[in-house]
Chain A
Amino acid sequence: MSVAPAPVSPSPDLAGLFAAWDAPAAGPVSFAAPGAPPEGSVWRSDLPADPAAAAARLDEQLAQLQAAAEAVPAAEQRLDSAAQQARAAAEGALSFAAGEAMPEPERALLESLAELRQPAAAPVSFGAPGEPLALPPEWRSALDELRPILERVQRSILYHTYVETALGGRVVAHTALTWLGDAETEWRGRSVADEVDLHQRSLKAAVASRNLLLRVFLLSLRFAGSLATPGGVVLSLPAAWKFVNQVLAEMAHYRRVTQAG
């Protein structure tokens, strides 16, 4: 298999859409402190003091999230095609002539998978009898990438979500959200309509982002399972995660551009 050089077209990813997630403040987990999030993630909407500017920022965020969610069905087709390419590459049946165009995400994916397969082709050093086996560096790197993904997914999806809206640094409301959207809100603002509206938009963005994260994770998982990689999903998930993020962001960007046009 040979892979063409990467075309120069920087792909956006979804990182910006998940950027508002923070882990709760570090410290020992305590179940005793009422109201304090013991686990889970905090979605912080740090907005400008001007309500109009704040609303514009949230609108933009919501539009991006919506575009990404709408891009999922189309992205799935591209993932299927990429999985076929990956399996063909694994069997040595895929060859790209120099200069043949290949989108950047696909090229990066095949390269990553090729690296993962390398140790299986060459004998792995298992050390002297009785000594612990050493992981090939490419696999070690994949495992290192897997950990933060799992942590992010666990934190953001599996626990309560705490949504905080601040205007010009002043927190106006704080909501604890369950998985299903049951909500407990502590209101600190001035009860004016625009502050209420902004916090509700923050909630909407947080829920949309959480839903997207879940879909991306499960999509990546399914995609990783369809790639012929030694070590299966465990090793291929990081590459799959990266690929899905890139493809979704690219397609969402395209949708927004074409819709705007």
Chain B
Amino acid sequence: MSDQASSGVLYFNGINGSSGAYETPPLSPDDLARAIQGDLDLSVEPERAAEIVAESPDDLSVLRQKKQDATEGHFGVKEGVDPGDLSQSGWGVIFAFKDKDRVPAIRDALAPLLNLRREQAGRLYREYADADGYRPNESKQKFLERFQVGPGPADPEQMPYYLLIVGDPETIPYRFQYQLDVQRAVGRLHFDKLEHYAYYAQSVVAAESGQYPLPRRATFFGVANPKDPATQLSAKELVDPLSASLKSNPRLSGWAVDTILADQARKSRLAQVLGGPETPALLFTASHGMGFDNGDKRQFPHQGALLCQDWPGPEDWRKPIPQDFYLAADDITAEARLLGRIAFFFACYGAGTPRLDDFSRQTKRGEIAPHAFLSQLPMRLLSHEKGGALAVVGHVERAWGVSFHTEKTGKQLAAFESTLERLMKGDRIGWGMEYFNERYAELSSDLTDFLQEVHPFTPDNVKLGSLWTANNDARGYVVLGDPAVRLTLGSGNQPLERAYVIDARYTPGAAPAAASAVSGQAGDTPAPAAASAVSGQAGDVNYGLLPDFGKARDDLQEVIRRISQALVRMIDKVTTVEVRTHLAAAEAGAEPVREAKSIIRLDGDEEHIVPRKDDDIDRALWMIHEGMVAQARQNRAEIIRTIGALFKA
């Protein structure tokens, strides 16, 4: 969205490819405020305000805490933890319970990446799958509670700071990703084909092997379509000053920063810097993202594709948008060379599309797609068979100009500058994105305060509109790919003489070996085979073609893996015993009556809640409870003895 001071009209990024018109028509501030409010009763209770802004009051308190932490200079991971060192910050992967039948195969395909991260994160490596996985309709808060994780800076001992969600946005919703991302570094992967997981995993492992250092080059690509206020503004107030700022940044002195603006920013040029011979380590684009009518046959393959300068603008083109004007996933050919790169797309739907319209939150939210989905362009970049990109930052739903410009403050580039600087310094992408998370936290708190303050007065529509859109915009930035990836950079900035390429392969049921097996050479020479079949134990036989055997082996490995994880978790929690005792409710389904609770820590601290009955202690229940506590202590000792024996063995 761009708020044009001269006209007072708000323009939005996003062009509807089905009609050729703006995805969202230009609105006055009053119109926008009405759209936002809809049937909203402004006499909102705090809980309602929280629901509007975040997902729950607890999410809101986390956002407030985040804002406070950022003010005090602490955000993301807790003090003393190096976010660059996975053995301190931890790394985890979250699968959906609903996908439990597919998870073994996906895990197999991702094995090179999971093995690498397990090695790097050590005991702070976690897999959340099956019963530990994301459960249907679970909120972030409920998910964290299951693992005894509360609000505040991320403590990797409780849950890793870097978390990779593996699942489509219908199964693991975007809102879970948004909220989890507030205090942690979160990325997402979802591919329809198993081999694409394998290609991605092998690409990350290859990139991190150090064999493919990239020149220190960044390219900024800014479309400015004729008579189109949104892209005119993003070119002038975002791309141009952002590239200039980074170019003159003394901390990035070894970098070559190229800027491609306006008339140069055509599709053919974008193809050269996105997979073509001039592909930089870091590509930043700002353009309209393609949107399509709900159910349009191009919606799934092309929504979020990048509309280039080829589009003559809204006044000179009033019919469906042809693919000649935009770059989509199917424009990325097998010849593209993307290994180890990172891209940042400022565009509507650049990362994905929810099923329901996020914009009209207060009215009945309309369906904008048959189901939530990830944009295909970034997924194609990540899963390229000759070596894919490491990550793409993009926007879910519509992207708004308030990301970088407001009428009152002018351009605001700090979040972009800071994030990109971190990436260019070789920091992990999830850590780099903390600046956007902080911005979301601040805007959410401001919006909630505003919603609570306006009651019962007439709201300031311009302010409400600005805060609302800024809030929705800020939360919509997501990382596609592993949040722990980072650029592997060489010392120079001259373009590569020959492109890097690997020959990613996938054999179902035969997890490819990790980094060493995914060798590749500079140049277009096919690499050696990526993987050999998994060897058996004694009397090796290649069982790759015996599906029953492969499944049994996977099941066994899964059980062993989960027992190992359970043991590690036990060690984490071994210092506290918690016992609760209550009487059965009089009626089925009713809340239990009178509860006693004890929490006993190894350091000697004890916390007890004593049940009461008729203004006195419920001595009978307390006596039972004391017995249960004693029993729990004995059981704990027995369990620890067993673990000790197991480790000894």
Interface residues of A (CB under 8 A from B): 31, 38-39, 72, 76, 90, 117, 120, 132-133, 135, 139-140, 143, 146-147, 150, 153-154, 157-159, 175, 177, 179-188, 191, 196-197, 200, 203-204, 207-208, 211, 214-215, 217-219, 221-222, 225, 227-234, 237
Q: Which of A140, A177, A191, A203 contacts B548 (CB 8 A)?
A: A140
A197 to chain B, nearest CB (A): 8
Asked if residues A179 and B538 are in contact (CB atoms below 8 Å), the reply is: no
Chain A contacts of B45 at CB under 8 A? none
**Interface hub of B548, B581, B635 (most chain A Cβ within 10 A):** B635
Chain B contacts of A146 at CB under 8 A? 552, 555-556
Q: Which of B539, B553, B581, B649 contacts A185 (CB 8 A)?
A: B581
Interface residues of B (CB under 8 A from A): 97, 131, 135-136, 138, 536-539, 541, 543, 545-549, 552-553, 555-556, 559-560, 562-563, 566, 569-570, 573-574, 577-584, 592, 620-621, 623-624, 627-628, 630-632, 634-636, 638-639, 642, 645-646, 649
Q: Which of B138, B539, B579, B645 contacts A120 (CB 8 A)?
A: B539
A233/B556 contact (C-beta < 8 A), A180-B573, A211-B638 known: yes
Asked if residues B549 and A234 are in contact (CB atoms below 8 Å), the reply is: yes
Nearest opposing residue in chain B for A214, CB measure: B642
Asked if residues A215 and B539 are in contact (CB atoms below 8 Å), the reply is: no
Extra A-B contacts (9), CB below 8 Å, given A182-B578, A218-B649? A175-B628, A180-B639, A187-B582, A191-B620, A204-B634, A207-B635, A214-B646, A228-B539, A234-B536
**Interface hub of B135, B536, B539, B646 (most chain A Cβ within 10 A):** B539
Asked if residues B569 and A179 are in contact (CB atoms below 8 Å), the reply is: yes
Q: Which of A133, A147, A225 contacts B537 (CB 8 A)?
A: A225
Nearest opposing residue in chain A for B546, CB measure: A133
A94 to chain B, nearest CB (A): 16
Asked if residues B639 and A207 are in contact (CB atoms below 8 Å), the reply is: yes
Chain B contacts of A135 at CB under 8 A? 546, 548-549
Tell me if A's interface is mostly helix, strand, loop or mixed: helix
A-B contact pairs, 18 of them (CB 8 A): A38-B131, A132-B547, A133-B546, A139-B549, A143-B552, A157-B563, A158-B559, A181-B635, A181-B639, A182-B632, A185-B579, A191-B624, A204-B634, A230-B541, A231-B536, A232-B539, A233-B556, A234-B552
Asked if residues B578 and A186 are in contact (CB atoms below 8 Å), the reply is: no
Task: A221 to B559: give the CA distance in the assembly, Å.
Answer: 11
Asked if residues A211 and B562 are in contact (CB atoms below 8 Å), the reply is: no
**Interface hub of B536, B631, B645 (most chain A Cβ within 10 A):** B631
Q: Which of A143, A150, A200, A225 contacts B627 (CB 8 A)?
A: A200
Chain B contacts of A38 at CB under 8 A? 131
A228 to chain B, nearest CB (A): 4
Task: A237 to B539: give the CA distance in the assembly, Å.
Answer: 15
Nearest opposing residue in chain A for B628, CB measure: A185
A230/B620 contact (C-beta < 8 A), A135-B549, A154-B559, A204-B635 known: no
Task: A123 to B541: give the CA distance in the assembly, Å.
Answer: 13
Asked if residues B582 and A185 are in contact (CB atoms below 8 Å), the reply is: yes
Asked if residues B649 and A39 are in contact (CB atoms below 8 Å), the reply is: no
B623 to chain A, nearest CB (A): 8
A150/B556 contact (C-beta < 8 A), A185-B580, A185-B581 known: yes
